[in-house]
Amino acid sequence: MFIRILLLALLATPALAQGELRGHGGPVRALAVTPDGREAISGSFDSSAIVWALERGTARAVLRAHESAVNAVGVTPNGFVTAGEDGRLAIWARNDLTKPIRVDKIHTAPIAALSVSPDGTSFATASWDSSLAITPLEGGTPRRLEGHQGNVNGIGFMPDGVTLVSAGYDATLRIWPAQGAARVIKLDSPLNALSIAPDGRMAAGGSDGTLFLLDAQGNHLRKIEAADSPLIAIAFSPDSMRVAAASPRGSVTLFDTASGKALFTLNGPGLPVWSLAFSADGKVLFTGGGDRLVRRWSAVNGDHLGPIVIEKPTEMFVSDGSRGAEVFKACAVCHTLTPDAENRAGPTLYGVIGRRIGTASGYVYSAGFGAHDIVWTKETIAKLFELGPSTFTPGTKMPEQRVGSDEDRAALGDFIEKAARPR
């Protein structure tokens, strides 16, 4: 419940500084990094997921299969999975991210968390309908696990690949063997988040800010007063030695798993943090925040390494120093302006002025996008970002975003007209 209240508070805050580099139009609710460290996937309240090419810092694809917030994401051997407030699970293949392989309606209430089995053949989901489900990659009826009394907020496979652990708002942690009854562990606080370390240790985050650490058998190791507000995201480092915990009002703190000591707290922009993920080598901690950005931090000393956009704006497009170029920075993660440049997550905007909607060659638009009766002009582009893509072009996969002021929208149009003019 608190998530909804917080979201309302966040949406009520005034628009952030324009021109900031970002991809999402809402808080970043879920994050995962591929084992080779080359890609990350983020899920957002804006109802999209974005696959990022980490080396360049650009958005590779916008994934659109959910009707509302994408609450959970995962990496599979051949692609990605996303799950949402709409109770659906979508499975994506890396070699074609234009549409999901399959979308299954699994739960009758929001899915709050998901976990990919270590062998990548099944997906476990935790839902506010009080149940868990295990869905095979190949399809078929999900196996349903019931017992929690209320929202289930966290889920994870144990290293054996079959045992599941879940964390619920009913203040229980449940360990589900492949067959037979679950073992129920009562904790002192309703639980919002769960992470399973590669060595099987478990960390659960309480709504009173307590971080519960348990061993692989479910025995209590320690209780850490991690924050004075609910813990909302937890992640173990790949070597199981450290655990990061985030609270929406507080910040992100890294703890030593063995001693329970706080190592350091992240200090800087991007708070509150909604989601956490370590790089596979454990050196970088990624955070997804209320500021709609994915940020990178040193997991060694907590230094802020900057937003995920790594290429300098000047390398992403040629800025003429105008206000419009400044505003366009927010678009450049997804759009290039040149004919030869590849399509990013969005189509190239080369020659977009005077072009009919949905006609850039070599780009796969979302179904129905091209059926809108729009020709792009400075005025229609201004309208697109005055009303927001989901209002002006319903059904689009472009994440919801707005450009706040008349002047900025006019400057943006002038810049695009000039910079994207066919040569």
**Chain residues that interact with ligand HEC, rule: CB under 6 A:** 23, 50, 59, 62, 330-331, 333-335, 345-347, 352, 357-358, 360, 365-366, 369, 376, 381, 385, 396-399, 403, 412
> What size, in residues, is the chain?
423
80 or 376: whose CB is closer to ligand HEC?
376
CA distance 216 to 157: 11
Nearest to residue 61, comparing CAs of 85, 42, 33? Answer: 42
Dihedral angle sign, alpha carbons of residues 393, 395, 398, 404: positive
CA distance 72 to 346: 23
CB contact set of 407 (below 8 Å; sequence gap of 6+): 323
Dihedral angle sign, alpha carbons of residues 33, 343, 294, 311: positive
300 or 387: whose CB is closer to ligand HEC?
387
Least separation in angstroms between CB 43 and ligand HEC? 13
Q: Residue 268 region, left (φ>0) first, then alpha (ψ -120 to 50), else beta?
A: left
CA distance 66 to 106: 13
29 or 201: whose CB is closer to ligand HEC?
29
171 or 331: whose CB is closer to ligand HEC?
331
In the chain, the amino acid numbered 311 is E
Nearest to residue 59, comparing CAs of 279, 274, 310? Answer: 310
Least separation in angstroms between CB 378 and ligand HEC? 11
In the chain, the amino acid numbered 82 is T
Least separation in angstroms between CB 49 and ligand HEC? 10
Least separation in angstroms between CB 280 and ligand HEC? 24
Least separation in angstroms between CB 396 and ligand HEC? 4
Cβ-based neighbour number of residue 48 at 10 Å? 27
80 or 365: whose CB is closer to ligand HEC?
365
316 or 398: whose CB is closer to ligand HEC?
398
What's the CA angle centered on 10, arms 401 and 194, to 5 degrees? 105
Least separation in angstroms between CB 358 and ligand HEC? 5
307 or 346: whose CB is closer to ligand HEC?
346
CB 327 within 8 A of CB 16: no
Least separation in angstroms between CB 217 and ligand HEC? 44
